[in-house]
Amino acid sequence: MSSTAGKVIKCKAAVLWGLKQPFSIEEVEVAPPKTYEARIKILATGICRTDDHAISGAMTVKFPVIVGHEAAGVVESIGEGVTTVKPGDMVIPLFLPQCGKCSSCINPNGNLCEKIDVTGKGVLSDGTTRFTCKGKPVYHFMNTSTFTEYTVVEEDSVAKIDSAAPPEKVCLLGCGFSTGYGAAMKTAQVIPGSTCVVFGLGGVGLSVIMGCKSAGASRIIGIDLNKDKFEKAKSVGATECISPKDYKKPINEVLSEMTNNSVGYTFEVVGRLETMIDALASCHMSYGTSVVVGAPPSSKMLTYDPMLLFTGRTWKGCVFGGWKSRDDVPKLVTDFMAKKFDLDELITHVLPFNKINEGFELLYKGESIRSVLLM
Ligand code: CND
Ligand code: ZN
Ligand code: ZN
């Protein structure tokens, strides 16, 4: 048992005190884990656009909050009843839990565990938080909260992984890579020889490209407004890249002409209503499948021509790539260790944790794919 087990840990965390504010590195108190919870020492954590959705208000959260949901770390201590992880285990916190009991978990095809915190409750199952700062409770984010030296998660929100896995790389399996790769491999089930189109070439979009390539797609078209993203997209597998700004015609017509009307799969990996419709319209009217991967802005509605679906298209979405998180993350780590895919291409910046605001600046300027913060 570690010397800190059962005690409050004081450590550094990046606290967001309110909407659209920079992170403030504070000393916080992290309470010991309660029943069915584990306290984790975070070793490395990536910056994902979803964290920014909390800052910008596109996603509802309670303040003050500790965001961050893509990380790897080591279990420091466990609460009563925990049997599947123990102190010293290398783990990945899971923003999508797998309770094993809810309607999604018991169905082989479901992965959206009902314990996911999509509404921004910001508390653990008992309705309280494990963080305090300056005497105030600080809320959790997506069952994870990784922008801190220590966090507390529930047992069903943590996956034990290979102890030899490098945390500064496999942290990306906690969100970005798994989400994108799974969208292609598991949700769309891209078939060999097909043509795929990926809207949005950030860390998640590039991971979709890697998935399409692994699945044997013969043509992969990357779309972004920022042409600086094209080079990297090509190096991970895009066969060509275009910007909608270079065309007068609607993008679905451009793609249809480019491919002789043969787009099998499209992926929206931006998180905008317009691109969701563009992606739907861009897949083949009869056999095409379009997958919504980008997080939809809170409380916004879509209007679209139902003829798009009537003709035969399939419209899907997926959270965390469709993976069952506790079952599949350890397997993805095994695949990474067996060199079935490479994460280095996605990691453009590595920064010390206290430079977190710089990491977000890189995201805003469109200069980074993934910045990884080291604790
Ligand atoms: P990031 O911001 O790095 O990438 C988005 C890319 O889209 C950037 O390269 C932009 O230049 C590009 N872009 C912006 N507007 C347009 C446009 N109109 N047309 C084409 N390209 C455009 O984000 P990320 O890769 O970290 O995340 C992408 C989305 O995925 C984002 O919405 C995030 O919240 C979401 C997501 C979903 C899930 C899930 O489980 N489904 C998990 N993590 C992240
Ligand atoms: Zn994410
Ligand atoms: Zn469940």
In the chain, what are the domain boundaries?
177-321
List pLDDT tens digits, range 107-119: 999 999 999 998 8
List pLDDT tens digits, range 161-179: 999 999 999 999 999 999 9
360 C-beta neighbours (distance < 10 Å), count: 19
Taking the C-alpha atoms of residue 238 and residue 97, their distance in angstroms, rounded to an integer, is 32
Q: How far apart are the first and last CA of the chain?
A: 22
Judge contact between 337 and 130, C-beta under 8 A: no
Mean pLDDT of the chain: 97
* Ligand 1 center–CA 34 separation, angstroms: 35
- On the question of pLDDT at 222 being above 80, the answer is yes
* Ligand 1 center–CA 199 separation, angstroms: 8
Helix ranges restricted to H, 2-69:
49-56
Which 8-state DSSP code applies to residue 16? B
Calculate what percentage of the chain has a pLDDT beyond 90: 97
Q: What is the mean pLDDT of residues 325-351?
A: 97
φ, ψ of residue 221 in degrees (nearest 5): -105, 120
Across the strands, what pairs with 240?
221
Position 75 confidence tier, pLDDT thresholds 50, 70, 90: very high
List pLDDT tens digits, range 240-296: 999 999 999 999 999 999 999 999 999 999 999 999 999 999 999 999 999 999 998
Q: Scanning the structure block, which residue is given the tokens 């290979």?
A: 162
* Ligand 1 center–CA 31 separation, angstroms: 34
Counting ligands in written order, which one lies closest to the CA of residue 324?
3
Of the options 3.40.50.720, 2.40.50.140, 3.90.79.10, 3.40.50.2000, the CATH number for the domain spanning 177-321: 3.40.50.720
Predicted confidence at residue 1, as pLDDT, reads 65
Q: What is the mean pLDDT of residues 335-349?
A: 97
Predicted confidence at residue 297, as pLDDT, reads 84
- On the question of pLDDT at 2 being above 80, the answer is no
Nearest Cα residue to 199 out of 273, 111, 96:
273
